[in-house]
Amino acid sequence: MSDPSEERPQDWAPATRLVRGGLQRSAYGETSEALFLTQSFVYDSAEAAEARFKGEAPGYVYTRYGNPTLQMFEDRLALLEGAELCRAQASGMAAVHTALMGLLKAGDHVVAGRALFGSCRWILKEWASRFGVETTFVDAADLDAWRGAIRDTTRVAFLETPANPLLDIADIAAIAELAHAVGTKVVVDNVFATPIFQSPLTLGADVVVYSATKHIDGQGRVLGGAILGARDLLESAYRDIIRHTGPALSPFNAWVLLKGLETLDLRVRRQAETAGRLADMIAAHPKVRQTLYPFRPDHPQHATAVKQMRGGGSLVAFDLGDQAAAFRFLNALRIVDISNNLGDAKSMATHPATTTHRAVPAEEQALIGLRPGHVRLSVGLEDAGDLARDIARALDRA
Ligand SMILES: Cc1ncc(COP(=O)(O)O)c(C=O)c1O
């Protein structure tokens, strides 16, 4: 066995990285990570301030640029992800916005998976287009569609996998190969998989984004986000946009998220175990027309899911036939909450067509296979037997 004193944090297993990674104790030797709730920093002299601003002396200058609590969160998540650098962001959407806009300029082209969280779709379709960036949306599971859409001016390939809300799986390694052949950067929103079950950078992605609001907090408290990747790329593409547009995470939120990371591995493994059991139970119910869970053999991209994921995740989607049945199901739940959030300790279910994907036009909903009967379930940490009874009773009433 190796001597622990010689081990680097990179040698630790994920569970250890999540508890110990990035820890920087102050002079007081506190057990828990210190919360540096400060906007700015002071200097011993004018010369010291100048040196710090020039980058010639180490230290922090302003929390919009960096802060010790933010640094601990960034270092811990980078260590878990196997990334050289992480930049914390105020929310998942701040992370997606910065990650995309930092790579793009007028005249550039983006290829994106069609099944995206509504706000991600809005950024490309409504916002980036105002600045002369054109986006082609493709079925992310169809490699020929990516092959046909990527062209010389394509700067970014953007995808979610599993995608929100129907858990479509895209082959990250194959898309990265197609993209890299023409110098296109691959940005993956890894929210549904979590860093525990999928490592996009290892599969060939250039940038990974998270809504830390979801599983990383996982206890319904704060918004947060993160961008991860190679140091050179993050410095060149994102350093200035972050400094000057101000999507910085609050140190308080970073502290909450550090605590969330400590238990992330335990929580998502337990959630995924329960989700797999519930998916099988839901699929066997006579009122259910379709059940989507990446690790069930009947998932359309099951082979890709098991190739690139280490677990099926904590979300299940299913079709109850029509909106009225889906609403009856949601209204009959007694333990599971009706909520559009996900990744929480509390189980939550939503009707995507009228909530998270309400702004997606009907023809686009049809293209991604989203039907009025679909329900998305985020499985929490309650007892699996209690959840199974609650869901079975609600299905009977659907
Ligand atoms: C896949 C995905 N990406 C990004 C986001 C945005 O995250 P946030 O709400 O933290 O801005 C969400 C959910 O809200 C999401 O489901």
What is the structure's pLDDT at 7? 80
225 lines ligand 1 (CB under 6 A): yes
Q: What's the CATH number where 388 sits?
A: 3.90.1150.10
What domain range is 59 assigned to? Answer: 10-262
Q: Are the C-beta atoms of 176 and 205 separated by less than 8 Å?
A: yes
Q: In terms of DSSP bridges, do strands 154-160 and 185-189 run parallel, antiparallel, or are they unpaired?
A: parallel
Looking from the CA of residue 224, the nearest atom of ligand 1 is 10
What is the structure's pLDDT at 261? 98
Q: Residue whose CA is closest, atom 8 of ligand 1?
A: 92
188 lines ligand 1 (CB under 6 A): no
Query: What spacing in Å lies between the alpha carbon of 172 and ligand 1's midpoint?
Result: 20
User: pTM of the predicted model, to two decimals?
Assistant: 0.96
Number of folded domains that form the chain:
2
C-alpha–C-alpha distance, residues 332 and 394, integer Å: 5
205: in domain: yes
Q: Residue whose CA is closest, atom 16 of ligand 1?
A: 117
Residue where a domain terminates, one of 229, 262, 295: 262
C-alpha–C-alpha distance, residues 314 and 111, integer Å: 27
Q: What is the CA radius of gyration of the chain?
A: 22
96: in domain: yes
Q: 296 is written with which tokens?
A: 């069930």
Query: What spacing in Å lies between the alpha carbon of 7 and ligand 1's midpoint?
Result: 36
43: in domain: yes
146: in domain: yes
**What stretches of 284-358 show up as alpha helix (H) in DSSP?**
302-308, 323-332
**What stretches of the chain show up as alpha helix (H) in DSSP?**
14-20, 46-54, 68-81, 92-101, 118-122, 143-149, 172-180, 194-197, 200-203, 231-245, 251-262, 264-283, 302-308, 323-332, 362-367, 384-397
C-alpha–C-alpha distance, residues 279 and 197, integer Å: 18
195 lines ligand 1 (CB under 6 A): no
2: in domain: no
HEC per residue, 248-270: CCCHHHHHHHHHHHHCHHHHHHH
Query: What spacing in Å lies between the alpha carbon of 120 and ligand 1's midpoint?
Result: 8
301 lies in the same domain as 384: yes
Residue where a domain terminates, one of 222, 246, 262: 262
Q: Are the C-beta atoms of 173 and 241 separated by less than 8 Å?
A: no
63: in domain: yes
113 lines ligand 1 (CB under 6 A): no
Instruction: Enumerate residues 6+ apart whose C-beta is below 8 A from 83.
Output: 77, 201, 208, 228, 229, 230
69 lies in the same domain as 199: yes
93 lines ligand 1 (CB under 6 A): yes
Cis previous bond, 165, omega within 30: yes
213 lines ligand 1 (CB under 6 A): yes
Q: Would you give per-residue pLDDT tens digits along the chain (398 residues)?
A: 456 667 899 999 999 999 999 999 999 999 999 999 999 999 999 999 999 999 999 999 999 999 999 999 999 999 999 999 999 999 999 999 999 999 999 999 999 999 999 899 999 999 999 999 999 999 999 999 999 999 999 999 999 999 999 999 999 999 999 999 999 999 999 999 999 999 999 999 999 999 999 999 999 999 999 999 999 999 999 999 999 999 999 999 999 999 999 999 999 999 999 999 999 999 999 999 999 999 999 999 999 999 999 999 999 999 999 999 999 999 999 999 999 999 999 999 999 999 999 988 889 899 999 999 999 999 999 999 999 999 999 999 99
197 lines ligand 1 (CB under 6 A): no
115 lines ligand 1 (CB under 6 A): no
149 lies in the same domain as 94: yes
Q: 3 is written with which tokens?
A: 């001597």
137 lies in the same domain as 239: yes
74: in domain: yes
Query: What spacing in Å lies between the alpha carbon of 357 and ligand 1's midpoint?
Result: 12
What is the structure's pLDDT at 3? 63
C-alpha–C-alpha distance, residues 215 and 263, integer Å: 10
Q: What's the CATH number where 155 sits?
A: 3.40.640.10
196 lies in the same domain as 339: no
164 lines ligand 1 (CB under 6 A): yes
